[in-house]
Amino acid sequence: MIEGRNAWPRVGTLRQQWLAEFFQRKTAPKPVLPFVTKMLVEMPGPVRDYLTSSRRSTLYEEFGGPADLDQALRDASTGQQARMLLRLIAVAFEHQMTRASQDCKNTWRPDQYGPCSSEDAALWLRFLVNTLGPELGTRTLQPYQPAPIEQALIDGTPYQGDVPVDQAEVVEESPGEHPATVVLETGQYSHAARDGRDEDATSDVTVEAENSDAAGRDFDGAEAA
């Protein structure tokens, strides 16, 4: 829980930096207009609660929102107008997900209150990653790469942390037994015994054989003398 509450604001900052670069594009990819239309018709929570305040948010300026809207619209193409609408919707989602209150840290948790529900956050992230991502050319802007906590929302799975839990399993040795195999952290295997004998037993046999050979040589030398 603590890791998630710390990770959520951090990834929000990175996501908003990416969005600031995205809104520098001159045109909007094809999926933008259908998504904007859907958001204005269905009005999910963040859009319903904050859309009318989006132009007064600092995020609007960070995302390149024009100060003189009339001037911007005068020469704007249809694609550029769609991008302007998406900017307002992006501000609404991002504000409710990261800046509206201290409870924004709960956005990633379905069982906790936040100004933006985890369901609505997943809706926005799926658009950025699954819908918008494939439409972007890599020469100007790389598609947005979600962090593990964002990917968990997209997939509808519990967040397990940024660092995968160590899945290594060690087979404990029972009294009087020698383990045949020990599983290492790297996933490789170390065979500690062969044919029922461990390394110590093999060493003992080797030493005993060497001693026997030496004794035989001494006896042969004494007999020859």
pLDDT at 85: 97
Query: Which tens digit of pLDDT belongs to each residue from 1-43?
Result: 778 889 999 999 999 999 999 999 888 999 999 999 999 999 9
Buried b (16+ CB within 10 A) or exposed e, 52-76: eebeebebbeebbbeeeeeeeeeee
pLDDT at 192: 36
Residue reference for tokens 């409870």: 103
Question: pLDDT-based confidence at 155, cuts 50/70/90?
Answer: very high
pLDDT at 165: 53
Question: Of the candidates 46, 30, 15, which has an alpha carbon nearest to the alpha carbon of residue 129?
Answer: 15
pLDDT at 190: 35
Q: Among 73-77, 106-110, 188-192, which stretch is predicted with the lowest mean pLDDT?
A: 188-192
Average pLDDT, the chain: 80
pLDDT at 164: 59
Share of the chain above pLDDT 90, in %: 64
Query: Which tens digit of pLDDT belongs to each residue from 170-189?
Result: 444 444 444 433 333 333 32
Question: pLDDT-based confidence at 139, cuts 50/70/90?
Answer: low
Q: What average pLDDT does range 109-119 have in this prediction?
A: 95
Q: What is the C-alpha to C-alpha distance for residues 27 and 78, in angstroms, rounded to an integer? A: 9
How many other C-beta atoms lie within 10 A of the C-beta of residue 140?
11
Q: What is the C-alpha to C-alpha distance for residues 219 and 167, in angstroms, rounded to an integer? A: 58
pTM of structure: 0.72
Is residue 224 scored above 50 in pLDDT? no
Q: Are 94 and 15 in contact (CB under 8 A)?
A: yes
Query: Which tens digit of pLDDT belongs to each residue from 35-78?
Result: 999 999 999 999 999 999 999 999 999 999 999 999 999 989 99
- Outline where the chain has alpha helix (H): 2-22, 32-42, 45-50, 58-62, 69-74, 78-98, 118-126, 148-155, 199-224
pLDDT at 138: 64
Instruction: Name the more confident of 210 and 103.
Output: 103
Instruction: Name the more confident of 108 and 208.
Output: 108
Residue reference for tokens 């100060």: 67
Contacts of 135 (CB under 8 A, 6+ apart): 29, 30, 31
Domain ranges of the chain: 2-155, 181-224
pLDDT at 123: 98
DSSP codes of every residue in 88-130 = HHHHHHHHHHHTS-GGGGGTT-TTS--SS-HHHHHHHHHIIII
Q: What is the C-alpha to C-alpha distance for residues 85 and 54, in angstroms, rounded to an integer? A: 11
